[in-house]
Amino acid sequence: MRDERRLIGQLQGQGLLSDLDVYFADILLQKSDQPSELLALAAAMASRATNEGHVCFDLNEMADRPLNGLDGQVIASVPSLNDWSVQLHQSGVVGTPGEHQPLILDASGRLYLHRYWEYEHRLGFLLDERAARQASNVDEAVLQTSLKQLFPNTSDEIDWQKQAAATAVLRRLSVISGGPGTGKTTTVMRLLALLRQQPGGEALRFALAAPTGKAAARLQETIQQSHDSHLAPMGSLPELASTLHRLLGVRHGSTGFVHNRDNPLALDVLVLDEASMVPVALMAKLLEALPDSARLILLGDKDQLASVEAGAVLGDICSGYRGPTPHFAEQLQRTTGQSPPPDSSDPRALADSVVVLKKSYRFDSASPIGRLASAVNTGNFKQAWELLEEGGAASQIRRIPVNDDTAKLAAGRYAKIFEMIEKGAAPSEIFASLNDSRVLCALHQGPDGVIAINRRIEAELRSRGYITGDSRWFQGRPVLVTRNSYGLGLYNGDIGITLPNPQAGGEISVVFPMADGSFRWIAPARLPEHQTVFAMTVHKSQGSEFNEVLLQLPARDNPLLTRELLYTAITRARSRFLISTEQEVFRALVHRQLRRSSGLAEVLWQ
C-alpha cells in the first residue's frame, strides 16, 4: 500500500491535494482488486475536482504528459488516456456509466464520483424530458391578445422580453438568461400575468425561489416594488419568495429533502431566480420534486460566476443554443408577430426553451460600464484596458494603481455612515448610504483578500477616530451573515449594521432590513455565523447592486481569477466602477475563462 500512496503523498506534501482527497483515495485503494499509483491519483483528483466546483475530473488534462510538482520537477509520467483507462477499469472500483461503482469513467475520459455522475445523468434526463413537452391547454388567441396588451412595442426589432414571456407560457421549461438591466424581473411579472389570463389561470399555484436567502429576499423585494399599469387587469400575482432549501423542505442530518419524486411539490409554476448559482446536485433534486405538469422558469445570467459547489448548470443549458427549432419559430411568429431566426441544424428540443435577453435598459451603447462589461465578456482585453485608461476621476470607470491605498479610499466612503450615526439618522438612511458603495475582493485570503481588506479599512477608520474602544461590536460595524438561520429569518448573504437599539434602551444590536420595509433588531450573541463586511467577495455580491463598486484585485495573478469573476464584479455597479489592478493581472483575467469539467452540455445538446 505504501508504494501505491507514494505519488499522492508527494502531491499532498506540496499542498496540491487535501487530506480529504488523500483519505478518499486510501479508501479506494483498500477496496481495489488491483491497487495502483494511477488509481490513487485518479481518485484523489476526482475528489479535488468536485471540491473545486467541477462535476468530474477529465483525465485528458493529465494523460500522456509529465506530472510536475510546484517546483517544476517531474514527479511522474502519466500514461496515455487509453492505458490509464484500462488500468482503472481493472481496479474493480471504477465502472462505466450505469454501473454501480465508487467511480464512473465515461468514454470521453471524464471520471466521476458515482453520486455526481448520477446527479448529472438524472438532471440531463429530466431537463430533456421537460423541454420536449409543450404546455397543455394554452389558448393561443388569448395569449396573442394578452401579449399585445403587455408588450405594446411597435418597433421592428425583436422584443426579447416578449419572446421570453411567450416561451414561458407555451413550454413546460423556459430558461431566460440576460445581463443586468435586461429586464428579467419585468419579464417575469408579465409572463405570470399572461398565465393568469389563460384558461384556469386563476387557480394556478405559483412559487418564487432563489438559491440563497439574500437572493430570495431581493427577488421578493423587487417584485413587491414593481408597479406596472399593464398588470392591473391581470389578477393577483405572487409576492413571497423562499430559498430552494426551504421550498424543498430540509431534512436535518440528510442530503435529501421532504419534497422529492415520491412527494412532489404542490405547485403549477416555479420561478427560480439566480439560477447560475444553483449546483448540479440541488438542481437535480429540484427537477425530481417538480410535478410533470408544472412549468419551470429559470432566470439568470449565463455569463456570471457559476455556483460555488459543483456544476455550471445554467451555462451548460445555454451553451448549445443557436435559435429555436423551425416548428417553434413558426409558433412564436404566430403568437408574438416576431421570431428569432430558427436553427437549421436540427437542434434538440431544449432549443425551444432558451431565450437570451439582449437589450440592456440600464446601460446604453455609449455607457462606459456597459462597454467595459461587454469587452470583458467577449475577451477583448485591448478594448477593456483602453476603456480603463481613458477613464478620469469624473468617469464612470476608473483604474486605481495598486500602490494607492484602496483602504483609505474606502474608509472615506464609509466615514459618512459613522457621521450619520452620530447625527441620529434613521436606519433606512444609513442602509441607503451603506448600499451606495461597496468594496469587492476577488479572493478571500491573502494581502488583497477580503479578510485583510476589511481589517485595513477598520484600522483606517480607527485612525481617523470614527471607531473607538476595543469592542468588536462598535457602532457602524457592517455585518454579513454567512449561515442561514430560519428561526431568526436571517439568511446567508444578509447584511446588517451595528447600532444602539432604541427598543432596548440603547443596547448595541445588529439591525437588518426586511422585505416589507421594516427592520429587525438582533442581539449580537444571537447572530448565526457572520463576518465584518466593509468589503465582500465577488461571489458573495451576486444578486446585489451598488451605485459604486471598487474592485480590489491581487497584485499577482491567481488561477482563481477568471473573466466571469471580473464580469460579475463590473455588473454589480449601477453608476461607477473603480478597479485596483495592474495590466498583466487584468489581462490574465480577461483571457482566462471559467472551465467547469462536466458532461451535462454534451448530454443536453449532442
Per-residue model confidence as pLDDT tens digits over 164-179: 999 999 999 999 998 8
73-82 residue pLDDT tens: 777 778 898 9
Where is mean pLDDT largest: 118-132, 199-213, 241-255, 441-455? Answer: 118-132
SS3 566: helix
Per-residue pLDDT, averaged over 227-254, amounts to: 67
Burial of 374 (0-12, 13-18, 19+ CB in 10 A): buried
Sign (positive/negative) of CA torsion 149, 152, 154, 159? negative
294-349 residue pLDDT tens: 999 999 888 876 776 777 888 889 888 888 888 998 999 999 888 888 887 767 88
Q: Does 587 lie in the same domain as 457?
A: yes
Per-residue pLDDT, averaged over 495-503, amounts to: 85
Per-residue pLDDT, averaged over 577-586, amounts to: 88
Q: Is the pLDDT of residue 444 over 90?
A: no
CA dihedral 268, 273, 279, 284 (to 10 degrees): 10
**The pLDDT value given to residue 102:** 93
Q: Does 393 lie in the same domain as 326?
A: no
Q: Is residue 24 part of a domain?
A: yes
**The pLDDT value given to residue 298:** 94
pLDDT band at 393 (very low <50, low <70, confident <90, very high): very low
Residues 6+ apart with CB under 8 A from 414: 457, 461, 466, 476, 534
- Pick the residue with more confidence: 176 or 428? 176
Count other Cβ atoms within 10 Å, centred on residue 218. 21
Q: Is the pLDDT of residue 554 over 50?
A: yes
Q: Does 295 lie in the same domain as 253?
A: yes
CATH code of residue 96: 1.10.10.1020
581 is in an annotated binding site: no
340 is in an annotated binding site: no
pLDDT band at 272 (very low <50, low <70, confident <90, very high): very high
Q: Does 399 lie in the same domain as 257?
A: no
Q: Is residue 117 part of a domain?
A: no
Q: Does 59 lie in the same domain as 186?
A: no
Per-residue pLDDT, averaged over 395-415, amounts to: 81
Q: Is residue 120 part of a domain?
A: no
Query: For residues 144 and 187, what is the distance between their CA atoms, to the nearest angstrom?
Result: 16
Q: Does 560 lie in the same domain as 476?
A: yes
Q: Is residue 557 part of a domain?
A: yes
The mean predicted confidence, pLDDT, of the chain is: 84
Q: Does 377 lie in the same domain as 439?
A: yes
Per-residue pLDDT, averaged over 23-41, amounts to: 89
123-145 residue pLDDT tens: 999 999 999 888 888 888 888 88
180 is in an annotated binding site: yes
Q: Does 245 lie in the same domain as 294?
A: yes
Q: Does 297 lie in the same domain as 445?
A: no
| Set of cell numbers at residue 64 | 500522456
C-beta separation of 39 from 8 below 8 A: no
Q: Is the pLDDT of residue 530 over 90?
A: no
- Pick the residue with more confidence: 278 or 393? 278
197-210 residue pLDDT tens: 888 888 888 888 88
Q: Is the pLDDT of residue 480 over 50?
A: yes
Q: Does 463 lie in the same domain as 320?
A: no
**The pLDDT value given to residue 28:** 92
Lowest mean pLDDT segment, chosen from 9-18, 289-298, 559-568: 9-18
Q: Is residue 508 part of a domain?
A: yes
Q: Does 149 lie in the same domain as 16?
A: no
Q: Does 169 lie in the same domain as 37?
A: no
Per-residue pLDDT, averaged over 503-527, amounts to: 81
User: At CA 221, angle to CA 486 and CA 483, rounded to 5?
Assistant: 30
How would DSSP label each residue in 40-53? HHHHHHHHHHHHTT
Q: Is residue 394 part of a domain?
A: yes
Percent of the chain with pLDDT strictly greater than 90: 17
Query: For residues 368 and 383, what is the distance between their CA atoms, to the nearest angstrom?
Result: 11
CATH code of residue 500: 3.40.50.300
Nearest to 159 by CA among 185, 187, 135: 187
184 is in an annotated binding site: yes
Q: Is residue 602 part of a domain?
A: no
185 is in an annotated binding site: yes
Q: Is the pLDDT of residue 398 over 70?
A: yes
Per-residue pLDDT, averaged over 396-407, amounts to: 79
* DSSP structural state of residue 490: B
User: In the listed set 108, 129, 154, which residue is the last one of a domain according to the structure?
Assistant: 108
pTM for this predicted structure: 0.82
**The pLDDT value given to residue 228:** 54
Residues 6+ apart with CB under 8 A from 47: 18, 20, 21, 24, 25, 113
Q: What is the largest CA-CA distance in the chain?
A: 74
Query: For residues 408 and 277, what is the distance between their CA atoms, to the nearest angstrom?
Result: 33
Length in residues, the chain: 606
Q: Is the pLDDT of residue 579 over 80?
A: yes
SS3 363: coil
Which contiguous run of DSSP H or E holds residue 64?
A: none
pLDDT band at 233 (very low <50, low <70, confident <90, very high): very low
Q: Is the pLDDT of residue 232 over 50?
A: no
pLDDT band at 226 (very low <50, low <70, confident <90, very high): low
Query: How many separate domains does the chain show?
Result: 3
User: In the listed set 59, 88, 108, which residue is the last one of a domain according to the structure?
Assistant: 108
416 is in an annotated binding site: no
C-alpha of 1 from chain center: 41
How would DSSP label each residue in 165-202? HHHHHHBSEEEEEE-TTS-HHHHHHHHHHHHHHSTTGG
Q: Is the pLDDT of residue 186 over 50?
A: yes
Q: Is residue 122 part of a domain?
A: no
User: In the listed set 362, 397, 417, which residue is the last one of a domain according to the structure?
Assistant: 362
Per-residue pLDDT, averaged over 542-567, amounts to: 85
Query: For residues 208 and 220, what is the distance between their CA atoms, to the nearest angstrom?
Result: 8
Domain of 256? 138-230+237-362
Distinct helix (H) and strand (E) counts, the chain = 22, 22
Query: For residues 35 and 41, what is the distance between their CA atoms, to the nearest angstrom?
Result: 11
